[in-house]
């Protein structure tokens, strides 16, 4: 199987948490929202229908798993899920915890204001805490 390479923009905007069966699990470097990004480790996919049916089912299971973990770790009222890809075509799915009154509420997080980067220490701390909750393996 062709090697999966993470898009450079996604890599620049995130910290790696680890790999699940299908997806690389990333933490978006924006402290305004608890925000995970799932990237199926398949080459050349831009739309969900580019995945096999088995991979589509796995992606849905991993979305549900990410959503449940965000709800378990953070105090959120709603989960937003989105696969857009207008800027970065590599198929990736945002799973974002939302709270009433957060920086974009009730609008979408995409394109809303400017990201506020985590401090190195707090990013490390969230990656560790989420890695434990998400039970990922280290990415290759």
Count of Cβ atoms closer than 10 Å to residue 89 Cβ: 12
Burial (CB < 10 A; 0-12, 13-18, 19+), residue 81, is middle
In this structure, are residues 89 and 39 in contact, taking their beta carbons and an 8 Å threshold?
A: no
| Binding pattern for the stretch 31-60 against a copy of itself, x by CB under 8 A and - elsewhere | ---------------xxxx---x--xx-xx
How far is 132 from 75, CA to CA, in rounded Å?
17
Q: Quick one: 60 or 137, whose CB is closer to a copy of itself?
A: 60
Contact pick of 8, 21, 43, 89 for a copy of itself (by CB under 8 A): 89
Q: How far is the CB of 121 from a copy of itself (least distance, A)?
A: 31
Which two tokens mark 132? 């434990």
Minimum CB distance to a copy of itself, residue 101 (Å): 11
Contact 56, 21 (CB under 8 A): no
| Min separation Cβ 71 and a copy of itself, Å | 8
Give the number of other CB atoms < 10 A from CB of residue 128. 11
CA 84 to chain centre: 12
Which segment (2-10, 31-39, 98-106, 116-124) binds a copy of itself by CB under 8 A?
98-106
Q: Does 15 bind a copy of itself (CB under 8 A)?
A: no
Residue of 26, 37, 45, 67 that binds a copy of itself (CB under 8 A)? 67
Binding site for a copy of itself (CB under 8 A): 46-49, 53, 56-57, 59-61, 63-64, 67-68, 78-87, 89, 98, 105-108, 110-111
């Amino acid at each position: 199987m062709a090697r999966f390479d993470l898009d450079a923009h996604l890599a620049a905007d995130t910290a790696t948490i680890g790999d699940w069966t299908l997806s690389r699990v990333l933490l978006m470097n924006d402290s305004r929202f608890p925000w995970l990004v799932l990237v199926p480790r398949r080459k050349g996919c831009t739309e969900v229908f580019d995945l096999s049916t088995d991979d589509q089912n796995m992606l849905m299971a991993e979305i549900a798993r990410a959503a449940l973990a965000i709800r378990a770790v953070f105090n959120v009222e709603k989960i937003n899920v989105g696969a857009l890809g207008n800027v970065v075509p590599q198929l990736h799915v945002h799973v974002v915890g939302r709270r009433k009154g957060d920086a974009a509420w009730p609008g979408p997080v995409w394109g809303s204001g400017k990201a506020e980067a985590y401090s190195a220490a707090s990013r490390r701390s969230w990656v560790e805490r989420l890695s434990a909750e998400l039970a990922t393996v280290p990415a290759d």
